[in-house]
Amino acid sequence: MCGRFVVANPGAELVDALRVDLEGDDLPEPSYNVAPTARVAIVLDSAKTEPPTRRLEAARWGLVPAWAKDPSVGARAFNARAEDVEDKPMFRQALIKRRAVIPASGYYEWKTEAGVKIPHYVHPADGSPMLFAGLYEWWKDSAKAADDPSRWLLSFTILTRDAVGELGSVHDRMPLFVDLDHADAWLDPTTDNVGDVLDAAIDAAPAIVPSLEVYVVDRAVGNTRNDSPALIEPIG
């Protein structure tokens, strides 16, 4: 699973690489300890225009489906198993039309050794951005006025799959990584072969693993109040 990650750059460096058409006005600041319910920048293709408009928008981590009574349900929907999303009511509609890419610098995973959870940092060894496949939803707060922009909440979940290679020795799950070559197909909201797009992403993700570096970091990352570059420094 992926329960914490790092966005040292909010996404500006990906604007050109992912050919973003529109950047949101209120993008979050960098963070070295992003936790569920935090706001981060995600990339999505809006189907309301022709062709779709690619946007970099701030979104809350933890998917809140349109039918939810309140956004609290998102706190437990920050990850979704890629193998199951086609069958889960909470994620099924988002998979069909609302797929996102979440830019990151890396993520944390905990490995239990002798009864102690040891945090590890996983990131591209060459310092390039990491992309996670995700799903997004818009949730409307009916208690707010129709002309209140804050009435709408954009939220997302990160997909995961079975871990492979060195990552499998740390945890049995890993984020569903996407490279730039597959990002366009993943984001395209007009595709009819959603199952094929999902299967292709699941199959392609392991090829990214050999380019990643994994090392132990300080246990301070376990406290969400800690947020500094020191959290990603290797120890031991």
Quickly tell me which residue has 């390039």 as its tokens: 128
Out of 3.30.360.10, 3.90.1680.10, 3.30.9.10, 3.30.365.10, select the CATH number for domain 4-232. Answer: 3.90.1680.10
- Contact (CB, 8 A) for 11 and 56: yes
Whether the model pTM is above 0.85: yes
Ramachandran class of 173: left when φ > 0, alpha when ψ lies in -120 to 50, beta otherwise = beta
Domain boundaries, the chain: 4-232
Quick one: which of 99, 109, 107, 171 has its CA closest to 133?
A: 99
Cα 134 to chain centroid, rounded: 5
Tokens of 177: 């990584």
Per-residue pLDDT tens digits of the chain, which is 236 residues long: 689 999 997 666 677 788 899 988 889 999 999 999 999 999 999 888 888 899 999 999 999 999 999 889 898 899 999 999 999 999 999 999 999 999 999 999 999 989 999 999 999 999 999 999 999 999 988 777 777 777 789 999 999 999 999 999 999 999 999 998 899 999 999 998 999 999 999 999 999 999 999 999 999 999 999 999 999 999 97
Q: What is the pLDDT of residue 12?
A: 62
- Contact (CB, 8 A) for 105 and 6: yes
In whole angstroms, give the CA distance from residue 102 to residue 120. 20
- Contact (CB, 8 A) for 119 and 217: yes
Tokens of 37: 């319910």
Q: What is the pLDDT of residue 147?
A: 77
